[in-house]
Chains A and B, each alone.
Chain A
Amino acid sequence: MNSTRPILEDDLHAYVDGVLDATRRAEVQAYLDSHADSAARVAAYIRQKAALQAALAGVAQEPIPPELSLRHLVEGRRPRHAVPWRMAVAAVVLLAIGAAGGWSMRGPVSGALIQSGIMGLAQEAAYTYDVYSTDQSHPVEFKAADKTQLVEWISSRLQRSIAVPDLSASGYRFMGGRLVATPHGPAGLLMYDNDQGVRLAMLVRPMTVDKTARMTEHSAGAVNGYAWAEKGVGYSLVGVASADTLHPLANEIRHQMEQKV
């Protein structure tokens, strides 16, 4: 016989799984032909594999339920287990507390709960909008009249000079704003409204992921938005308004911010 490499247990399994090249396969076959115990074991493993596949084949052939339709999921609608906004906000706050307290999860799952990059920003904007835009008594902490103080406050906490976009040409007045907490640190929230009482909000914060990102449309329930990032600062304009309304406003803000920076 040729001086073949000794047969390893790994080779027997690779034989069962059909992943050996032709030469090695022939060597393993020759070994099995002369070793009845190993041959019986390998035969049992092959039957076992076929039986496992047969036992589970039905699952893969079932029609896929609507909850698992990619299109539905991309549209951000969860037919089951819809998380009410306020619970979602509470979850974000708790996660933020957890992160601040040094608690973290290991493994690839971590970070999935708190989205990063532009998607995270979009999510935070939607959460904050949902809380403050519906607040009748204190939608903002600093009113438009105190714009200078507000800008100083936000700029000092974000360590970035932040400007307030002017949307009056589109009929949106600056209402004021506040500093808000996100899982990625402080962010500035600027609010606007028009004569019909439609409120929009812009969330702005420094970005560590997606320092520069193209403008992306996002939506969560009735809240639509556009998010983008430039020179390490992320912006998301959100509101219960159509994309047709928001998109030109977002472009206008981006344009104004480019002029300022």
Chain B
Amino acid sequence: MAVLMDLRMSDMARLIEPLIPALRRYARALVGDAAAADDLVQDCLERTISRWHQRRDDGDTRAWTFTILHNLAISRLRQRSRRGRHIELDDAEEAAMAQPAAQEDGLRETDIMAAVNRLPEDQRCVLLLISVEELSYADAARVLDVPIGTVMSRLARARERLRQLMQDESLVATPRPRLRSVK
């Protein structure tokens, strides 16, 4: 039986382990702080392990695992919005430190994540799954449990809204002449 477990483990390890960095990235992008995101990934992996025999085939593993993570993340976000956002001091510092350094050219990383966080949740998920995780449109539809047409329209809205937000941002960032009082 130990042999059986090892076989199961190696099969699972081969398919799941390479996905962990991407799962952490998606969770972090959705919920913000590192500790909460890794908790979600841990829950996701536990469910993946316990439901391993229920997956359909090898090709499906990535979409299947992302589906589990996505659903966990969404219920966590809903919980948080019901309770109001609560961040432990340690976590808050960690999250702040985890912010990548600002780039000088073009879009700054902190800016773009701030802008992404202003998108409605459904648009944010589509954008992250497609632009960052590079899931196919069909896989994104599977993860979100919506038709492909919905994925496409959310993607279009997300990209356009983000473009506008970033434009506004750059307007705000450029110093404008102050209004002078006229006698």
A17 / chain B contacts, CB cutoff of 8 Å: 130-131, 134
Question: Quick check: is B116 within 8 A (CB to CB) of the other chain?
Answer: yes
Q: Is the pair B25, A59 in contact by a Cβ cutoff of 8 Å?
A: yes
In the complex, identify which listed stretch (A67-75, A93-101, A152-160) lies at the interface while the others stay far away.
A67-75
In the complex, identify which listed stretch (B67-75, B84-92, B173-181) lies at the interface while the others stay far away.
B67-75
A226 / chain B contacts, CB cutoff of 8 Å: 1
In the complex, identify which listed stretch (A108-116, A138-146, A166-174, A185-193) lies at the interface while the others stay far away.
A108-116
Q: How far is the CA of A215 from the CA of B21 in the complex (A)?
A: 34
Count of residues in A whose CB is under 8 Å from the partner chain: 49
The 8 Å CB contact of A54, one of B49, B71, B109, B130, is: B109
Q: Is the pair A70, B12 in contact by a Cβ cutoff of 8 Å?
A: yes
Q: Chain B binding site: helix, strand, loop or mixed by DSSP?
A: helix
Q: How far is the CB of B19 from chain A (nearest CB, A)?
A: 10
The 8 Å CB contact of B152, one of A13, A44, A64, A214, is: A13
A41 / chain B contacts, CB cutoff of 8 Å: 160, 163
Q: Contacts A55-B112, A56-B29 hold; do A216 and B24 have CB atoms under 8 A apart? A: no
Q: Is the pair B163, A52 in contact by a Cβ cutoff of 8 Å?
A: no
Q: Contacts A48-B159, A55-B113, A59-B24 hold; do A115 and B50 have CB atoms under 8 A apart? A: yes
Q: Is the pair A52, B132 in contact by a Cβ cutoff of 8 Å?
A: yes
Question: A54-B103, A68-B45 are known contacts; what are 15 more A-B pairs with Cβ within 8 Å?
Answer: A48-B166, A52-B116, A54-B109, A55-B110, A56-B25, A59-B28, A60-B21, A80-B39, A81-B39, A107-B145, A108-B68, A109-B72, A112-B50, A115-B50, A243-B1
